[in-house]
Amino acid sequence: MSDYIQTDGASFFRVGRQAYVSAELYRRELNEIFDRTWLYAAHDSELREAGDFLTREVGGRELILQRQADGSLGVYLNACAHRGARVCNERAGNTQRFTCPYHGWTYDGQGALIGVPDRSAYGLPGHCDLQQSLIRVRHDSYRGFVFILYGRSAVSLAQHLGGARDYIDLILDQSEAPLEIIPGAFDHAIKANWKLLAENGVDAYHLPFAHKRYLKYLDTLGTDPASHRRSGRGEALGNGHALIMSGPPSTGRPIAYWSPLFPEALKPSIEAKFDELVRRFGQARAEEIAHTNKSLFIFPNLVINDILGLNIRTFFPRGADQVSVTVWGAGFADESAEERAARINGLISFIGPGGFGTPDDVEILESCQRAYAHAAIGYSDFSRGLLAGSRRHVDEEQNRGFWREWSRRLEGASVRPSQALAIAV
């Protein structure tokens, strides 16, 4: 293990709090983790038609993602080959070309340079090579989730996802219709180290303490007040990925599990959805799909929450003590307007800026960071369940899995300049 982790492998596992405050370590993480790991960028449903594009910051770099005429996806750095200005300032749209607002260089939908004012003054040839085109970024997708990779690596996306793929499948098997991102996103910042958010995304232990207001609210609606004590499991899935799963949930689920949070009129359609899941997969898998809450963490910065609503969250460090966060809601294309409304209400009521969950978590994580800033000597403990060898959803094996991968990637690594990265198709 690294200098930041203390463990005997059997009874205790602790992380030195300097890991959350060190500016030098933050720079190493950018180089050794975010510049050399598959990062979630978008979902296929956000780019439906030929020419549709998104501009999005991923891993600290601005990208253009565009649907090509043949249905494939193009991903480019949003930087002109001439002087590096952004060639697209819109968040989304549909176009066949991008023109740099600085000097008018123009690129087609494949990123190739097709127009230069006063081209002859540059001595440019009539055709264009990659040096005069937008820089292409390596990308791949799994079941509609699009990931990018900045550095050269022999590790494929499938190899990186590893055991997490089974749980992406479990989430997406809720419906035979495709997943789609609900328009709009929730962007916010937290004055805390990014690793605190990685821990929190698969931490069920804090629910009855940090989110007491939410549990009291559920009580007023007639839900089961003991729901947070339901059985479940926590798993380290390898490669730093992690999972917590528990159920049945008192909050209900728009797919096949009704609760008092939903309108009474939705009961028949929800029951019909469960019957369909049983027909497709059998009783056991249908119950695992419909009657359990799942939070899936994909190393280093993606969380897929399949709970009251379905949401996708990414985060990226802006410093040792600052992280930016983006959350998207998601649903399935065959949902009725009432079912979609239930999903959105669930997302807003817990995850949104005025919800029960996010403000509580932000306050707690920022309080941790403030303590570390002037009391960083010492260790944070992740030993829960280790001695007993248990894998309950309220234990911490999933957190230990994250820290093992973090340590593996940083062990023996020196700071290397970002210009040494190889942007590759």
Q: What is the spatial distance between Cα 415 and Cα 307, in angstroms, rounded to a whole number?
A: 39
Q: In the structure encoding, which two tokens stand for residue 165, read together?
A: 């793929």
pLDDT digits (tens), the chain, 425 positions: 578 999 998 999 999 999 999 999 999 999 999 999 999 999 999 999 999 999 999 999 999 999 999 999 999 999 999 999 999 999 999 999 999 999 999 999 999 999 888 877 777 665 555 468 999 999 999 999 999 999 888 899 999 999 999 999 999 999 999 999 999 899 999 999 999 999 999 998 877 766 666 666 666 655 555 554 568 899 999 999 999 998 866 666 767 777 777 778 888 888 888 999 999 999 999 999 988 989 999 999 999 999 877 899 999 999 999 999 999 999 999 888 888 887 787 777 777 777 777 888 889 999 999 999 876 678 999 999 998 888 899 999 999 999 999 999 997 554 333 333 445 44
Q: Within a domain: residue 5?
A: no
Do 376 and 355 reside in the same domain of the chain? yes
Do 269 and 358 reside in the same domain of the chain? yes
Which DSSP string corresponds to 277-294? HHHHH-HHHHHHHHS-EE
User: How many domains does the chain contain in total?
Assistant: 2
Do 314 and 253 reside in the same domain of the chain? yes
Spatial CB neighbours of 212, under 8 Å, sequence gap ≥ 6: none
Do 145 and 164 reside in the same domain of the chain? no
Tokens 């007023």 — which residue?
220
Q: Within a domain: residue 419?
A: no
Q: Residues 385, 387, 388, CA angle at the centre, nearest 5°?
A: 65
> DSSP assignment, residue 262?
S
Within a 10 A sphere around the Cβ of 83, how many other Cβ atoms? 10
Q: Which of 194, 185, 145 is nearest to 296 (CA)?
A: 145
Do 300 and 370 reside in the same domain of the chain? yes
- Kindly report the pTM of this predicted structure: 0.91
Last-in-domain residue among 129, 149, 169: 149
Q: What is the CATH number of the domain that holds 51?
A: 2.102.10.10
**Domain assignment of residue 105, given as a range:** 39-149
Do 347 and 406 reside in the same domain of the chain? yes
Q: What is the CATH number of the domain that holds 399?
A: 3.90.380.10
Do 57 and 170 reside in the same domain of the chain? no
